[in-house]
Amino acid sequence: MYTLREELIMLKKLVLICLVSVLVLTSIVGCAPKDNPDNGFEYELNEEGIIKPEHSEQIIKDLSDEVMLAIKNKDFDKLSDLTHPEKGVRFTPYTFVSVEDDVVFSKEEIKNFFTDQREIKWGHYDGSGEEIVLTPAQYYDKFIYTADFVNADEVGYNTILSSGNMLENQFEVYETPIIVEYYFPKFNPEYEGMDWKSLRLVFEEHEGSWLLVGIIHNQWTI
C-alpha cells in the first residue's frame, strides 16, 4: 500500500509525463512541411478574397509542375489521378471562363482524352466568332499545350501575368482556387510581344487535397 504522499508524488510524475508527451507531439506537428495541403496549412486571403500568391506557391508549386509535366507528356492517366473526382476539369480556350459553354471532362473521361474521336464544340474562336469544333486531340494541339509551358519564362501563383481583350473572371467562377499561370511574354522579337501565350492550371481543395479543376488557355488575339 502507498501512503498518501507517495500517491501524490506518483500522480505528479504521471501528469508531468503527459505534459511532455503533448509538447513533443505539438513540436512534431509544428515542424511538418507547410507546403503540403494534407497537413492543414492555413493560408491567408488578400483584400479581394484570393489566396495570397506567396501562400499559393508554397501549397501548389510541386503539384502544379507535376500536372504540367503530365500534360506535356500526354500522360492523361496521370492527369486523371490529379483531377477533382466530383467537378472534373473545365476547358477554357480563351481566358473568360464560361460555365454554360466550356466543356467539362470527368475524371474518367480524362483517361480517354486522346482516344476520344468525338468532334466537340468547345466554344467560339475569338475574333471570327466561329464555333470551335475539334476532337480532344485537336483541341490539345490548338488550345492546351501550344508552347513548352513546362519551361515557361514566367510562372505566377494567383497572379495574372498575361492580359488580353477578354474579361478575367476565373476567381469569381472557381471556389477559393489556386491558379498557376505558365507564361511566355514573347517569342519573336519582331512581333513586339504580340505573340505571347500562357496556360493556367486551376486547383481547388477537396477533402484536404488540392486537385485540378480547370485548364485555361490564353494568347494574344486580334
Q: pLDDT-derived band of residue 165, with 50, 70 and 90 as boundaries?
A: low
- Does residue 73 sit in the same domain as residue 17? no
For 93, the domain range is 37-219
Q: Say yes or no: 161 and 87 in one domain.
A: yes
For the record, the C-alpha cell of 46 comes out as 488578400
Q: Against a cut of 0.95, is the pTM above it? A: no
pLDDT value at residue 1: 52
Are residue 114 and residue 134 in the same domain, yes or no?
A: yes
Same-domain status, 12 and 98: no
pLDDT digits (tens, 9 = 90+) for 131-159: 999 999 999 999 999 999 999 999 999 99
Q: Are 25 and 119 in the same domain?
A: no
Q: pLDDT digits over 170-202, tens only?
A: 999 999 999 999 999 999 888 777 889 999 999
Give the helix ranges, DSSP H, for the chain. Answer: 4-30, 53-72, 76-81, 107-111, 136-143, 170-173
Cell output for 82 = 490529379
Q: Is residue 1 located within the same domain as residue 67?
A: no
DSSP class of residue 121 equals: E
Question: Which tops the pLDDT comparison, 175 or 36?
Answer: 175
Confidence of residue 26 (pLDDT cuts 50, 70, 90): very low
Tell me the CATH number at 164: 3.10.450
Using the predicted structure, report yes or no on whether residue 38 has a pLDDT greater than 70: no
For 11-22, what is the mean pLDDT?
A: 49
Same domain, 27 and 43: no
CA separation (Å) from 61 to 87, 169, 180? 21, 22, 8
Tracing cell 471562363 back to the chain, one arrives at 97
pLDDT-based confidence at residue 36 (cuts at 50, 70, 90):
very low
The total of structural domains in the chain comes to 2
Nearest CA to 188 out of 220, 159, 155, 145 is that of 220
